Amino acid sequence: MGTNQRRNSHLKDDQIKQLEDLLMAQKEDLLNKISDQTQYALDPNEQKEQVDAANNNREKEQEARLLSRQGFLVKKISKTLLDIKTGEYGLCKECDADIPFERLMARPVADMCITCKEDSEMSEKSKLYKKVSKSLGKTAQEYGRL
């Protein structure tokens, strides 16, 4: 019996490599998008003429929401890449079950098995309602902690 077996030994080395490549490509893609949007948002001449102030604000709001969601994903991907290094990747953080390779390929940042994910989404939805109705600023803070 080998004593140096990884905890996530249901994943083969080449499968992990495949997922790692996927994650790095996704991260780069997100970072590119974020820098595009930031440039766009910083350009005051672009749409000044045809957009009134109200529309402008709404667009900024949507942009900010999009950026914070993408920033959140980037953080999540970085954390996932770290998990790959430490051999924690592919295990459910709630119940320690193996997360199947197929599920990881479909969603490489998955850190919960389907059962735990469904449970947490249900409670997350009801929590989110309360947060959003309280204040948007607070919601952003909560996202940062996830």
Nearer to Zn ion, 67 or 92 (CB): 92
Considering the complex, what minimum distance in angstroms separates the CB of residue 75 from Zn ion?
22
Considering the complex, what minimum distance in angstroms separates the CB of residue 49 from Zn ion?
53
Q: Which two tokens stand for residue 95?
A: 């119940």
The contact set with Zn ion (CB under 5 A) reads 92, 94-95, 97, 113, 116
Place of tokens 């140096």: 4
Nearer to Zn ion, 71 or 100 (CB): 100
Considering the complex, what minimum distance in angstroms separates the CB of residue 111 from Zn ion?
9
Nearer to Zn ion, 109 or 140 (CB): 109
CB 88 within 8 A of CB 7: yes
How distant is the alpha carbon of residue 49 from its chain centre?
35
Nearer to Zn ion, 27 or 89 (CB): 89
Considering the complex, what minimum distance in angstroms separates the CB of residue 93 from Zn ion?
8
CB 30 within 8 A of CB 73: yes
| Cβ partners under 8 Å of residue 33, min gap 6 | 70
